[in-house]
Amino acid sequence: MLANFFGLFRSKNKDDLTFLEVFYFQHDPSTNKLLVCNNGMRSTNEIRLVVKNDQLMLFTKNLDKLEARSSNLLALADLLDNLQRPFSGTIKEITLYHKGRKAVFVPDVYNLKRIK
């Protein structure tokens, strides 16, 4: 019973990335902009955003720091592939990496839906 009592004060899962979210800017895919949000209480360092397009090409952007309760607006044109070409096509999947963990999002009409 004491273990259950002290369990109340611990985070349910410190290893998940539920504090990170990705949205289309103004919930409109045609803006060609993404909003990466940190809903957590702490600043977050070294986030890697990887976007897979409809031709399965990967485009990345590294975010050095994202303050607590803030967001970062990114133009899709700022995402580059391994040959330094800007994003082209449509989004098939977005993956956020942080400290060896990942969160995966897929397009869902006017928003992005977390699947992992």
pTM reported for the whole predicted model:
0.84
How many Cβ atoms sit within 10 Å of the Cβ of residue 76?
A: 21
* Buried/exposed 14-27: b ≥16 CB within 10 Å, e otherwise: eeebebbbbbbbee
CATH of the domain at 94: 2.60.40.3080
25-51 average pLDDT score:
94
Query: With 70 as the cut, is the pLDDT of residue 71 above it?
Result: yes
Higher pLDDT, 15 or 8: 15
Nearest CA to 65 out of 36, 22, 28 is that of 36
The total of structural domains in the chain comes to 1
Cβ proximity of 17 and 103 under 8 Å: yes
How confident is the model at residue 14, as a pLDDT?
A: 54
| Structural domain for 103, as ranges | 2-114
